[in-house]
Chains A and B, each alone.
Chain A
């Protein structure tokens, strides 16, 4: 079974509007971490936001927020006030357990922001 599922291969959004990128996960661990990364066409992997499984508040980082619904095992990324520079590939990833575990990535969502 897929551990991280991103069901939206591509999304379009108008500049200045908000957009939600979906991510669901599957784990039997009680402790885990959820991450979102942005990958522009240049290829680098840019960290956006993190949510720990025990965090009760949804994480926010500037224009990025993570809508964490633990019972539904979803960790959607919300980008407010989209900008042209937000056009990129977005990956949801999970670290299961604690400590020095590798990340498992979803298949990604390509976001295109239109003027």
Chain B
């Protein structure tokens, strides 16, 4: 079965650079969620999209933005990167008729 695809798997950026993370949800899943998991931390909700509209917002920094496109894939754009942005970034998707949330394998971002 198709899963949630995230790219890239690993990313190394320097401070003050920008990064773009991509997420391709499971087909027919209409909602995408982004989470940030710092080292030794639990995942923290950043933002979600339903039918290409932002549906909920968590602790997403102003330097970050995200959108969902017509094909339902989503991108998380991160600017002015800081060392503290180093984390594992998860995307998850869900649908109304499925209580479950399927997570992608994550993108490990390292800011140096």
Contact = CB atoms under 8 A, between A and B. Distances in A.
A30 B55 CA distance: 22
Contacts, number: 55
Interface range on chain A (Cβ under 8 Å from partner): 20 to 34
Interface string A62-103: 000000000000000000000000000001000100011111
Interface centre among B96, B99, B100, B101 (most CB of A within 10 A): B101
Contacts of A35: 101
Interface residues of B, number: 26
A110 B87 CA distance: 19
Contacts of A107: 41-42
A103 B92 CA distance: 10
B88 A43 contact: yes
A18 interface: no
A70 B101 CA distance: 22
Contact of B99 (A43, A44, A50): A50
Contacts of A44: 103, 105-106
A45 interface: yes
B22 interface: no
Contacts of B31: 100
Interface of A: 33, 35, 37, 43-47, 50, 52, 91, 95, 99-108
